[in-house]
Amino acid sequence: MDKTLIRHFSILLLFNLGILQSQPKEKYKIHDENRPQPEVVTHSSFSRMATPPSDAIVLFDGTDLSEWVNSSGSKKTQWKLGDNYFEVRKKTGAIQTVQEFGDVQLHIEWSSPKNIEGEGQGRGNSGVFFMAKPNVSHGYEVQILDSYKNPVYPDGQASAIYGQYPPAYNASAPPGEWQTYDIIFIRPRFDESGKLIRAAYLTVLHNGVLVHYNRELLGPTTHQVRTAYSAHPNRLPIALQDHGNPVRYRNIWVRDLESH
Ligand code: MG
């Protein structure tokens, strides 16, 4: 490659990293309808049914829900176990992992209902919450939504950091198809007095497309209001949201980045 090409490539790379890392903290209101919609990108061959690495903790291998409990953390989940997947059973509440985690690499596969029902935020809505307290009141959510030809406020679409950052691209597959998230979550750090010393960070690949690169979170993700950080334990469960839509999940595994 000649030097001009390399220079052009470097400029392109910097530009793209700029999109992925930009932090328009004050530019847009929460759930701002005027925020630009991410460009649509498709990818037909990605990490579906990726085999867990040897040091991964398998949270669902298709056979049972023993790694999950309801959102009070005490009882068996009532979500429906199907053939190699499980499904949100509405009004039974979120589910959360039995084990607790801090910094992690997570692989999760999901699909929104093939028969489209509802619209906007009512279409295939669920979510992956890191560091969820009981009832998912204070986690950090990567949104799950059927965002295939279903425009919503950009910070609430699939793979958005809910209420904070739209994904850099809309990599959604059609409803009914299995989709993947590969997520690196770095928890916030608090000092002994509970003061924030470092924010939480998320890197997210949606269907193999990088949509957030080391994104600094503004605080816990919440609906309609932005919420400041408040100290919480270093390890908490990962939760999946019951938003009333029968979203399916399969092949979930996590690498504990703080165990080595
Ligand atoms: Mg959600």
Sorting pLDDT into bands at 50, 70 and 90, what band is 118? confident
Sorting pLDDT into bands at 50, 70 and 90, what band is 226? confident
CATH number at residue 239: 2.60.120.560
CA of 56 from ligand 1 middle (Å) equals: 26
How many folded domains does the chain comprise?
Answer: 1
Residue 44: the pLDDT is 81
Sorting pLDDT into bands at 50, 70 and 90, what band is 1? very low
CA of 214 from ligand 1 middle (Å) equals: 21
Asked if the model's pLDDT at residue 132 lies above 60, the reply is: yes
CA of 224 from ligand 1 middle (Å) equals: 13
Q: How many whole angstroms separate alpha carbon 31 and alpha carbon 28?
A: 8
Q: For the chain, how long is the longest CA-to-CA vector?
A: 62
CA 106 to each of CA 15, 99, 204, 206, 251: distance values in angstroms, whole numbers, following the listed order: 27, 14, 10, 12, 10
Residue 68: the pLDDT is 96
CA of 104 from ligand 1 middle (Å) equals: 20
Q: What is the 3-state secondary structure (H, E, C) of 45-75?
A: CCCCCCCCCCCCEEEECCCCCCCEEECCCCC
CA of 164 from ligand 1 middle (Å) equals: 13
Range of 235's domain?
A: 3-256
Among residues 131, 80, 90, the alpha carbon closest in space to that of 254 is found at 131
* Between 222 and 3, residue with greater pLDDT: 222
> What's the rounded mean pLDDT across residues 53-80?
93
Asked whether 77 and 208 are in contact (CB, 8 A), the reply is no
What are the structure tokens assigned to 252, written together?
């979930």
CA of 44 from ligand 1 middle (Å) equals: 25
CA of 157 from ligand 1 middle (Å) equals: 9
User: 């979510």: which residue's tokens?
Assistant: 127
> What's the rounded mean pLDDT across residues 141-169?
97
> Which residues have their alpha-adjacent CB atom under 5 A from ion ligand 1?
125, 127, 143, 241
Residue 20: the pLDDT is 63
Sorting pLDDT into bands at 50, 70 and 90, what band is 223? confident
Q: How many whole angstroms separate alpha carbon 150 and alpha carbon 145?
A: 9
CA of 150 from ligand 1 middle (Å) equals: 15
CA of 142 from ligand 1 middle (Å) equals: 8
CA of 193 from ligand 1 middle (Å) equals: 32
CA of 47 from ligand 1 middle (Å) equals: 22
User: 């509405």: which residue's tokens?
Assistant: 90
CA of 1 from ligand 1 middle (Å) equals: 45
pTM equals 0.89
Q: What is the mean pLDDT of the chain?
A: 90
Q: How many whole angstroms separate alpha carbon 95 and alpha carbon 135?
A: 9
Q: What is the 3-state secondary structure (H, E, C) of the chain?
A: CCHHHHHHHHHHHHHHHHHHHCCCCCCCCCCCCCCCCCEECCCCCCCCCCCCCCCCEEEECCCCCCCEEECCCCCECCCEECCCCEECCCCCCCEEECCCECCEEEEEEEECCCCCCCCHHHCCCEEEEECCCHHHCCCEEEEECCCCCCCCCHHHCCCCECCCECCCEECCCCCCCCEEEEEEEECCEECCCCCEEECCEEEEEECCEEEEEEEECCCCCCCCCCCCCCCCCCCECCEECCCCCCCEEEEEEEEECCCC
CA of 243 from ligand 1 middle (Å) equals: 6
Separation of CA 46 from chain center: 17
